[in-house]
Amino acid sequence: MTLIKELGDHLRGIASQAVIRNGDYPREKGLLDITIILSELSDVAKVRNYYVKASELAQSIKSRQGEREIKANLVEDAGKDVPTLL
């Protein structure tokens, strides 16, 4: 329960106007599951940064895929006149 309380306190520090509910549900001894549901977020810098990083990553992946396709086509074109060994 101490860990859950500390997590709640940390979330209150990040999103001071959020409604934060916590509790526990007894499970097997030594097992802990944590579920965090975020909704109706206002302007939280850390969450905003996740969105920025995610969009930058998506653009980067798309760019790399395009580069790989170009390189694959160049290799295919370079080897089109090489006879096969089959």
pLDDT (tens digit per residue) in 9-40: 888 888 777 777 777 677 777 777 777 777 77
Q: Is it the case that residue 85 has pLDDT exceeding 90?
A: no
From residue 18, how far is each of 23, 38, 51, 72, 76 by CA, in Å?
Answer: 16, 9, 19, 50, 56
Number of domains composing the chain: 2
pLDDT greater than 90 at residue 61? yes
Domain of residue 67, residue span? 43-80
28 and 6 within one domain: yes
Q: Indicate whether 3 and 36 sit together in one domain.
A: yes
Does some domain include residue 85?
no
